[in-house]
Amino acid sequence: MAFDPPSYETGAPPNLPPELDLPILAIRNTVIFPVLAFPINVGRDKSLEAVERALAGDKLLGIVAQQDAKNEDPDTSELYLTGTVVKILKSVKMPGNKLNVIIQGLSRIKVERWTATSPTLNAHVRVFPEPQDTTPELESLMATMRELAQKIIDLSPHIPAEASYLVRSIENPGSLADIVASNLSIGVEEKQELLDTFDTRERMTKVIALLNKEIQVLELSNKIQTEVKGEMDKAQREYFLREQLKAIQKELGETDDRQEEFEELKKGIKKARMPKDVEKVAFKELKRMSRMSPGAAEYTVSRTYLDWLIELPWAVQTEDVMDVNEAARILDEDHYGLEKVKQRILEYLAVRKLKKDMKGPILCLVGPPGVGKTSLAKSVARALGRKMQRVSLGGVRDEAEIRGHRRTYIGSLPGKIIKSIKKSGTNNPVFVLDEIDKLGMDYRGDPSSALLEVLDPEQNDTFMDHYLDVPFDLSKVLFIATANLSDPIPGPLRDRMEVLEIPGYTMEEKLKIARNYLLPEAIDEHGLEKDRIDFPDEALKFLVTSYTREAGVRNLKRELSAVARWVAKEVASGKLSGPITMTPEKIEEIRGPVHFFAEVAERTAVPGVATGLAWTAAGGDILFIEATKMRGKGGIQLSGSLGDVMKESVGVARSYIRAAAVDLGIDPDAFENTDIHVHVPSGAIPKDGPSAGVTMLTAMVSLLTGLCVHHEVAMTGEATLRGAVLPVGGIKEKVLAAHRAGIRTVLLPERNKKDIVEVPKEIRDEMTFHFCSRMEEVLEHALGHDALAARKSMMQAEIARRAAKSDGAGESPSPAAGEAHA
């Protein structure tokens, strides 16, 4: 019930004739009683015409309710016949050709006949004025009605205080019943029934029954509010409304929607086919949740937890493609080379075909950037017919990123492993752990330690995420980790993985990759026709050698894309209509000056410069060692951002040279009055490691003997004080780097001879390898046997001459003896 205070007071009983001809206005969604004045909005054409006719006459208007509120133009059969005659007190024009009309209800009317239906409704009506006399029974009913109305006002804080005064001030029984009826929260049909009730006593009895019904609703509503307020969270209006709905449904005996929710969760748990112990935990959590209030914070936590348990693929897995030949075809189609990795994948597939319950291997692909580690993992997923999920571990420092947060924390969720398993929708995806060598650690924990359980085939069948707190079987997952370096990976974690080294590509491999994969892809991505660019081998090789220096093909892909963009611009601008053939000159015109030069011959054309081989995260590279001398006191100076090990290598080389100076053709006295400066170019890049020891010693011998190192010779190895050459790592990458730089002779430690097998055969056939166990062998190959022998003979002769001169000076006669002899 919603009492509105009157805009105008009711006047004396209207003096109306018993019958009238009136313009009729059809009204929607309400019923007008012959009581207080209030405004209505008029917008329909017929309604506007009716108001205009009333204003032009005696301002009397008949109002009847229409049965269907959705009908914009009802006919007379769709209107109620009982209505109200009103007087228009005021009319105000509104925007949009509308009127705001204030009307005063006067009396009930009943349509006797319709006199017009167009352009507006007009009817002959009979007037039923409200009786003014009263009886003791009506007085009693009025008192009851006032009491019930006052009770509603007291129970409803939103009803204004003026309503109580209005109810007390009405003395006419019929008017009081109409005022109360007009403010009841009932439908149009019920209000129309009250309007149709002409007998005052009967009408008052019906209104009192409706008042009692509304009081019951209000009392129940207040009871609900009292019960709910004690449990209501201060920020949750929605919670309050739900509790109201719950209490109403309880009173009405209706079913609770929560029961349906619990039934759905129960079905979901059974449908998920969880392990028995996990299912037991899920049902326990569901039972706990059923005892909670939906507005409680824990309710949402439990619901989210159950959703995670239900949506995880406990028993869903994809069928592996068991055709080994088809898998080999897909791997070859996506990647050129990488035979060792492909062979390992095919071995796994073959064993999986023979042994269905085999646990997934844990592979770690280690290699420089751009060699295709991540894309190879995608190809593996395609070859096996599995879904793939990738997680980047670069910069991950929090253990909870892997294992999730416990549910005691607000907003907690599972870790990356479980999230990705859920996203894949199967329990046997190919799972790529990208950049595993770049994991960090801080005060929040060590993610690499959390991965120990994930990557251990003996433990990962019961992987325990902190959020789920139940075991999940990861043994069917094929984990493939990728890394640029294996050294930063903690030992225990590296021990759990099968490390597969992916070296850099040779020139021939790069040319084939560019022609078969990168160039077609670049042409297609830039909207060019297949035969628009003709790239001869000469031009492709020029692009590879002059604009890229890398172990992989990432920069080569960028350069080919740049060429394709240039061609696309020329085609789009209309400057190029047919195919274009690339030449070295054209590439230089498109890409600008050459970035890299084969400068080995120029750099080693003077004594004191030797070419070494280094291993980096981007693959192998050549390294120049420069040495120069100046007058001084036997000091040595180092530069080039050298680490401690490289500095010690210089000291070892200097000591060895001094000890074997004569055999090397070096003046032993040169160290007393000569300072030596050893420099490794690219000074901004830190360098360290023992493998440059042989190169440093060779550069210093070249400087002190004046003999140049052959420009086609590069070397690597660790030198000792006794002149032994010790083995080093990264042989394959270093040999490939030498080949890329145009070097065809490489000096390697004797004990690295076994590592040459890993170098591709076409590279081995083009190069010459000398395996040395002593520094004397290295120097003979680098400086030339004959030149060293000649230098050695010359120095021995010089040493003998100095000794003879020193002996002669010691045997000359003294002047006194000469004089006595004379």
Catalytic residue positions, numbered: 691, 734
- Site of tokens 């000096």: 747
- Count of H-run helices and E-run strands, the chain: 30, 24
**Direct distance between the N- and C-terminal alpha carbons of the chain, in angstroms, rounded to an integer:** 159
- Site of tokens 């890229």: 548
Q: Which two tokens stand for residue 765?
A: 């056939």
**Rounded Cα–Cα distance for residues 640 and 436 (Å):** 30
3-state secondary structure 280-301: HHHHHHHHHHHCCCCCCHHHHH
At residue 439, the 3 state secondary structure works out as coil
342 touches 331 (CB < 8 A): yes
**Rounded Cα–Cα distance for residues 321 and 98 (Å):** 73
Q: Which two tokens stand for residue 461?
A: 């069948």
> What number of residues does the chain have?
822
509 touches 337 (CB < 8 A): yes
The greatest distance separating any two alpha carbons of the chain, rounded to the nearest whole angstrom, comes to 186
The DSSP element (H or E) to which 629 belongs, if any, is strand 619-631
Between strands 388-392 and 430-434, the pairing is: parallel
**Rounded Cα–Cα distance for residues 480 and 498 (Å):** 10
At residue 460, the 3 state secondary structure works out as helix
**Rounded Cα–Cα distance for residues 451 and 465 (Å):** 11
Between strands 498-501 and 362-366, the pairing is: parallel
The DSSP element (H or E) to which 239 belongs, if any, is helix 237-252
- By C-alpha distance, which of 490, 488, 395, 425 is closest to 451? 490
Q: Which two tokens stand for residue 703?
A: 């400087």
Q: How many CB atoms lie within 10 A of CB 90?
A: 13
C-alpha distances (whole Å) from 547 to each of 194, 370, 515, 517, 743 are 95, 15, 17, 19, 18
